[in-house]
């Protein structure tokens, strides 16, 4: 399979770059610059490499660097922003601070004819965000684009197939960004673009048929899109060797446990065990308010429950999890700072009773998981449903978790979802959060002192960034009225109007 390496130097856009590459049907793999060696790169057979941006200046003492030999292994390179400057630095050019003429935002680009700019007009708009620039080109390179303030907005050493762009082709603000990436992938690297959901299914099923032949496999099924797709995929590979265990941790949405049970038992003929572990989780979460600690507890307890189940089942060799690519990256690797430890990755204890863990979706983005799910014949209603985090309502109840709070939130959340569905509004994700604020209200003639619930709805393609959804006032009003009327302890409803960043989708 043809692969592109996205070598990450600490930029914010590494995932976006990988997505853009995969949208072209080419598989992209992100590695932090300090998580792979030159030798490993040489052996991996990459068709091309993209060096990402990053917040540093190349001359800083601790700035991320790489062995300069990388430019001489015959694999084409595209450097973006910091990656562009790093190429110049490694090849002997000079980088300087642009000072007052540093560029930020949409900027006019003048591009010269070359392989990277095939079918890109001479003048177009690009997205700039830099304070340093390449002031003297290294030997063998020529400038192939300029902006008003940046004489080397792009450079090329065509003989070695090495290119650098100071701007960001991966963001949609760069008018011809997609074309520039395509030119690199197909024109420069010679990729064919043959990465498809069908291939993925075939390849993955074959791989696990071989690796897990005769093994007993347990799948951690949450009923969400990811673990459902992982389960059906694994079922194709190991058939009855697979048992799905669905843990009801008491922090699921209203009726969710029953719905999941029905789908998996009736529709897919997969061995299915439902574990009612509400008490176990709630007692471990008792008195805990810190978000990361709650996440860790949930993650650990999940594994413990599976271990217990697997013991009860007799020997089980492998555990399947629905981890997807953004979970892996956002949980913190290399220099990327940890935003949240996703329960299905960060919470894994190092000592396990299982021989190993299989994560068949580990390299896929959400939309790719959905495409695979549809191809596998999973009903669209399940595949397209909004994501629900593994830790469940844990990350939507601020402060200590109690059964009463979980019940309260479940009711409010169900009403909000019902009202949106009734109005035909389908944000990418929508739910209620139980805040730890209590406030004074009035009901009838009496003073109340009740909980505040926050409603959250976001629109996004990839969940890496998100905008808050503009829900019509009358729909918000209907939800607020019903929640305060129907849920006894809630007397105030607010709507969260923050995007990601600076907020995240979930509150914890
Ligand atoms: P944040 O809050 O990080 O959420 O902006 C981005 C997306 O990830 C989901 N999410 C999780 N999913 N385990 C999961 O499986 C987790 O621990 C977890 N935390 C957040 C969140 O619901 C949103 O869709």
How far apart (Å, rounded) are the C-alpha atoms in residues 184 and 117? 9
- From 157-166, 383-392, 436-445, 448-457, the region with the lowest mean pLDDT: 383-392
- The mean pLDDT of 46-53, rounded to a whole number, is 97
Q: Distances in Å between the alpha carbon of 328 and those of 31, 302, 345?
A: 11, 18, 7
Cα–Cα–Cα angle for 84, 121, 13, nearest 5°? 35
278 Cβ neighbours under 8 A, 6+ residues apart: 248, 249, 250, 403
Residue 80, SS3 per DSSP:
strand
Q: Which of 2, 103, 170, 508 is catalytic?
A: 170
Of residues 443, 447, 449, the one with CA closest to residue 481: 443
Say yes or no to pLDDT of 461 above 90.
no
* Pocket perturbation via mutation, ligand 1, pick of 222, 291, 389, 433 by most ligand atoms within 8 A of CB: 389
pLDDT band at 330; cut points 50, 70, 90: low
List of E strands, 66-199? 77-80, 94-97, 103-111, 123-130, 132-136, 142-146, 154-157, 162-165
pLDDT value of position 351: 43
pLDDT of residue 451 exceeding 90, the answer is yes
Please answer whether residues 435 and 451 qualify as being in contact, where contact means their C-beta atoms are separated by less than 8 angstroms: yes
**Does the annotation mark 235 as catalytic?**
no
For residue 366, the CA-to-ligand 1 centroid distance in Å is 12
For the cut 60, the answer to whether the pLDDT of residue 257 exceeds it is yes
Distance 506 CA to ligand 1 centre (A): 7
Q: Which of the residue ranges 14-18, 151-155, 475-479 would you say has the lowest mean pLDDT?
A: 14-18
The rounded Å distance from CA 293 to ligand 1 centre is 16
Ligand 1 pocket mutation, candidates 220, 292, 340, criterion most atoms within 8 A of CB: 340
pLDDT at 173: 86
Q: Tell how far CA 385 is from the center of its chain.
A: 16
> Distance, CA 216 to ligand 1 centroid (Å)?
29
pLDDT 10s digits, 29-38: 889 999 999 9
- 73-116: pLDDT as tens digits: 999 999 999 999 999 999 999 999 988 878 888 999 999 999 99
pLDDT for residue 50 is more than 90: yes
Helices 197-211 and 225-238, interaxial angle, to 10°? 60
Kindly report the protein residue whose alpha carbon is nearest to atom 21 of ligand 1.
389
Confidence of residue 336 (pLDDT cuts 50, 70, 90): very low
């Amino acid at each position: 399979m043809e692969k592109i390496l996205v070598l990450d130097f600490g930029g914010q856009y590494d995932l976006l770059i990988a997505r853009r590459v995969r949208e072209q049907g080419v598989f992209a793999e992100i590695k932090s610059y300090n998580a792979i060696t030159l030798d490993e790169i040489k052996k991996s057979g990459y068709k091309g490499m993209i060096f990402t941006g990053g917040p540093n200046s190349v001359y800083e003492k601790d700035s991320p660097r790489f062995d300069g030999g990388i430019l001489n292994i015959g694999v084409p390179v595209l450097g973006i922003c910091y990656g562009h400057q790093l190429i110049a630095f490694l090849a002997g050019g000079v980088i300087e601070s642009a000072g007052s003429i540093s560029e930020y935002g949409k900027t006019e680009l003048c591009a010269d004819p070359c392989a990277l700019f095939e079918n890109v007009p001479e003048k177009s708009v690009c997205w700039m965000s830099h304070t340093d620039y390449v002031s003297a080109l290294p030997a063998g390179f020529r400038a192939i684009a300029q902006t008003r303030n940046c004489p080397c907005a792009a450079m090329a050493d065509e003989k070695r197939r090495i290119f650098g762009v100071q701007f960001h082709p991966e963001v949609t603000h760069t008018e011809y960004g997609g074309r520039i990436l395509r030119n690199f992938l197909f024109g420069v690297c010679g990729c064919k673009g043959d990465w498809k959901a069908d291939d993925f299914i075939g390849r993955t099923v074959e791989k696990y048929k071989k690796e897990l032949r005769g093994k007993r496999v347990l799948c951690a099924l949450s009923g969400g899109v990811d673990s459902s797709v992982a389960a059906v995929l694994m079922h194709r590979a190991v058939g009855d060797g697979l048992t799905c265990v669905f843990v009801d941790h008491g922090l699921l949405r209203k009726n969710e446990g029953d719905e999941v049970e029905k789908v998996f038992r009736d529709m897919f003929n997969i061995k299915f065990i439902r574990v009612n572990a509400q008490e176990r989780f709630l007692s471990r979460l008792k008195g805990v308010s810190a978000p990361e600690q709650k996440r860790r507890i949930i993650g650990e307890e999940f594994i413990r429950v599976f271990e217990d189940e697997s013991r009860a089942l007799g020997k089980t060799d492998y555990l399947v999890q629905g981890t997807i690519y953004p979970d892996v990256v956002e949980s913190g690797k290399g220099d990327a700072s940890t935003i949240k430890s996703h329960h299905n990755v960060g919470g894994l204890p190092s000592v396990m009773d299982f021989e190993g863990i299989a994560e068949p979706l580990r390299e896929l983005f959400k939309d790719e998981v959905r495409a695979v799910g549809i191809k596998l014949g999973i009903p669209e209603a399940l595949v397209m449903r909004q994501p629900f985090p593994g830790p469940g309502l844990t990350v939507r109840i601020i402060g200590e978790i109690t059964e009463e709070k979980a019940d309260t939130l479940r009711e409010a959340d169900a009403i909000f979802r019902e009202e949106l569905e009734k109005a035909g509004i389908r944000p990418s994700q929508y739910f209620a959060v139980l805040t730890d604020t209590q406030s004074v209200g009035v009901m009838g003639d009496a003073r109340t002192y009740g909980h505040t619930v926050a409603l959250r709805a976001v629109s996004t393609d990839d969940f890496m960034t998100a905008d808050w959804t503009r829900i019509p006032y009358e729909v918000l009003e209907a939800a607020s009225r019903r929640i305060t009327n129907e849920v006894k302890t809630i007397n105030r409803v607010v709507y969260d109007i923050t995007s990601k960043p600076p907020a995240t989708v979930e509150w914890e």
